[in-house]
Amino acid sequence: MHALICVSALCFLLVDAYPRTHRPKAVTCEHVVIFGDSLTDDGVEAEGSSHGFNRYSNGPVWAEYLNNMLECVKYDNYAYAGATSGMDNFYFPGWSGVLWQVTNFLTTTPVISEDTLIIVQLGGNNDMFNGENKTTVIAENARRAVTNLALHGARKVLALNLVDLSEAPGVQNADGGGEIGKWISLLTSEANMRLRSTLYNRHDGITITFPRLDFKLFDFNGALAEANSHFMNVSEPYTHHRPDTSPSDINYFAFHDLFHPSTFVHYKLAQAILRFLQDWV
């Protein structure tokens, strides 16, 4: 299905994230490197090198599921909860943003192996959490992140767009949640359109500037909406602090907390990305 959507005088023809005919091909994964925010943060490890702050789900997040599905030889997840699309965190300045993650990665990996799959969850939701329109900044940070990766030898980069949090319990259950949700939805749509326009610009887009780079933009927002549609309760996070709790209740909730999906949703997100990768190779 195709749809013509116009936001803030910008019009784009959007195409489904998934091809109509799925003809899966084997995906070889030597090394996957992932960047992102709290949707991607997989927590920290007691031993060895790890990144991130906390896993905001009741089980593995999509990046962990995808790594297992691909059976990658090496897995590196640089995501930090609270990351903005730039250098800063929502809560503090100077480090942990998605662009910072990429920059930090490149200081230790000046030349990226050609068999490395890089997935960049572009962030951006934290940039606009206070309601300010930063869609242009988000698109520019995304361009800089992918450009820097390409300049250091990246050959395959998958970027994930922003997810629409307007229906999250933390928004809908807030005072004035309906109006806040409309504004969040509008900003998310505009940001995603600017991302597509910037990254695929026919004059100086990523694929024009770096013809050797195999680059795709995945509709993470559409995948999340599709995943959520499979759950009965999308209006409140799961809790077992109820007298009528039953063992199977947890299976019916899309949200783990006010803003973050359950591990069941993360699993479906990983399946959607895997399907996309299988059709890409």
- On the question of pLDDT at 220 being above 90, the answer is yes
Q: Give yes or no for a contact between 90 and 129, defined as CB atoms under 8 angstroms apart.
A: yes
| Residue carrying the six token digits 């230790």 | 108
Handedness of CA 25, 31, 37, 42 (dihedral sign): positive
Question: Would you state the pLDDT for residue 245?
Answer: 96
- On the question of pLDDT at 5 being above 50, the answer is no
- On the question of pLDDT at 1 being above 70, the answer is no
Question: Would you state the pLDDT for residue 49?
Answer: 75
- On the question of pLDDT at 231 being above 60, the answer is yes
Instruction: Compute φ and ψ for 30, nearest 5 degrees.
Output: -80, -40
Domain boundaries, the chain: 27-280
- On the question of pLDDT at 16 being above 50, the answer is no
Q: Which of 47-61, 183-197, 217-231 has the lowest mean pLDDT?
A: 47-61
Question: Would you state the pLDDT for residue 73?
Answer: 97
Burial 229-262 (b: 16+ CB within 10 A, else e): eebeebeebbeeeeeeeeeeebeebbbbbebbbb
Question: Would you state the pLDDT for residue 261?
Answer: 99
- pLDDT-based confidence at residue 20 (cuts at 50, 70, 90): low
Question: Would you state the pLDDT for residue 9?
Answer: 44
CA–CA separation, 217 and 195 (whole Å): 9
CA–CA separation, 67 and 76 (whole Å): 10
Between 259 and 204, residue with greater pLDDT:
259
Question: CA distances (Å), 73 to each of 31, 70, 115, 121, 202, in order?
Answer: 6, 9, 11, 21, 36
- pLDDT-based confidence at residue 14 (cuts at 50, 70, 90): very low
Q: Give yes or no for a contact between 22 and 275, defined as CB atoms under 8 angstroms apart.
A: yes
Q: Which of 40-49, 61-70, 85-94, 184-193 has the lowest mean pLDDT?
A: 40-49
Question: Would you state the pLDDT for residue 24?
Answer: 81
Question: Would you state the pLDDT for residue 68?
Answer: 98
Pick the CATH number of 27-280 from 1.10.540.10, 2.60.40.420, 3.30.360.10, 3.40.50.1110: 3.40.50.1110
- pLDDT-based confidence at residue 3 (cuts at 50, 70, 90): very low
Tens digits of per-residue pLDDT, 95-148? 999 999 999 999 999 999 999 999 999 999 999 999 999 999 999 999 999 999
CA–CA separation, 105 and 99 (whole Å): 10
Mean pLDDT, the chain, integer:
93
- On the question of pLDDT at 219 being above 70, the answer is yes
Question: Would you state the pLDDT for residue 15?
Answer: 44
Q: What is the mean pLDDT of residues 193-216?
A: 94
Q: Give yes or no for a contact between 2 and 13, defined as CB atoms under 8 angstroms apart.
A: yes
